[in-house]
Amino acid sequence: MSTGSWENNVRKVVPYTPGEQPKEKVIKLNTNENPYPPSPKVKRILDEYNCDKMRLYPDPDATVLVDAIAERYNVKPSQVFVGVGSDDVISVAFLTFFNSEKPVLFPDITYSFYDVWADVYRIPFVQKPLTADFKIDPANYKCENGGIIFPNPNAPTGCEESLSMIEDIVKANPDSVVIIDEAYVDFGAESALSLIDKYENLLVIQTFSKSRSMAGMRIGYAIGSEKLIKYMNDVKFSINSYTMTPLTQLCGAEAIKDEEYFVNTVKKIVDTREYSKKKLAELGFEFTDSKSNFIFASHKSKPASEIFAALKEKKIFVRYWNKPRISNHLRITVGTPEEMDELFAALKEILK
Ligand code: PMP
């Protein structure tokens, strides 16, 4: 085989490692999926879909979906950007707004995709340490920067940050875009959406993957000032105009209109989360006061790595990272009450 120096010019990156998607049947509490199906209105769309329509390209503006999201959040359609899951939306936001020589700031313990996007787009970044109890110290975000992003509630800690603290950070940073990743906000934190009319540099990103049970459909969205959304669309339309399939657009629009189903599903998960906190405490676990659909827990005596491996043996998958500061923690997605009871029974055996 001939060899040349072409590899010197390859964009080399260390990719993000998604949670495992096992082929066999397991109790799957490792990727924060919703244990309940999407709204029955989504099923109706799928049942009635006419495949002939697939000949045509989709609406590049995803108008039905954008309009439905705008209506749900009482904003203008020109304030809504949609993408293929919030991963796609965050990626476009990194490319659009984090375009300076100054470092982008995010917590040291957070969604482990942020440093990967920064890396692939060659964006400098600095990770700011969370406090000992895994909270954001706003003082860390009052220095020169090329942008700020963090989730609320944070992942994988589940900790909520107050709206006043978020506003404090946004107010201190009029020269950069501040992104709040609200993937888990519906499970108990306060959204920063109420601030978008006040700060044109504040972008809020949410997803259909968690509270709306549609991780497999891949729908995420950003809401912010018309200016921010226009800049994101300019970048998106410079890469791929047709990101959302017609079916995705229709299913998403129906799902977001079904408020009653959404409220009920979220309540079931929050109730199971609070029940699970009691059970985990009885088993000797310590954890943050999660406001998300997962619990970030460590055991008083048994190392997390051992519990993780023992659970896997029993075909119960949770998430574990062998990383500084969190290597003795497990992130456990809140499943159905039945799944959680199976988890607790397994933990009881492992810990005895
Ligand atoms: N943000 C955070 C904090 C997440 O945990 C996830 C899920 N892995 C995402 C964004 C992306 O989710 P999705 O692309 O499914 O919307």
Domains of the chain (ranges plus CATH)?
Answer: 17-38+260-351 (3.90.1150.10), 40-257 (3.40.640.10)
Does 252 contact ligand 1 (Cβ within 6 A)?
A: no
Pocket probe for ligand 1: among 31, 91, 111, 184, the residue whose CB has the most ligand atoms within 8 Å is 111
Say what the pLDDT of residue 69 is.
98
State if pTM tops 0.95. Answer: yes
Report H helices in the chain. Answer: 40-48, 63-73, 85-97, 114-120, 163-171, 226-236, 246-257, 259-282, 304-313, 337-351
Say what the pLDDT of residue 160 is.
98
**349 CA → ligand 1 middle, Å:** 32
Does 85 contact ligand 1 (Cβ within 6 A)?
A: yes
Pocket probe for ligand 1: among 81, 113, 154, 211, the residue whose CB has the most ligand atoms within 8 Å is 113
Say what the pLDDT of residue 223 is.
99
Dist CA 140 CA 282 (whole Å): 36
Pick out the chain residues at pLDDT < 70: none
Retrieve residue 224's tokens: 């912010």
Say what the pLDDT of residue 238 is.
98
pLDDT one-digit tens code per residue, 14-73: 999 988 888 889 999 999 999 999 999 999 999 999 999 899 999 999 999 999 999 999
Atom of ligand 1 nearest to the CA of 208: 16
Integer angstrom CA distances of residue 73 from 20, 222, 247: 33, 11, 22
**52 CA → ligand 1 middle, Å:** 32
Angle at 319 between CA 119 and CA 84, to 5 degrees: 50
Q: What are phi and psi of 29, to 5 degrees?
A: -120, 40
Say what the pLDDT of residue 87 is.
98
The rounded mean pLDDT for the chain is 97
Dist CA 206 CA 223 (whole Å): 8
Q: Judge contact between 146 and 104, C-beta under 8 A.
A: yes
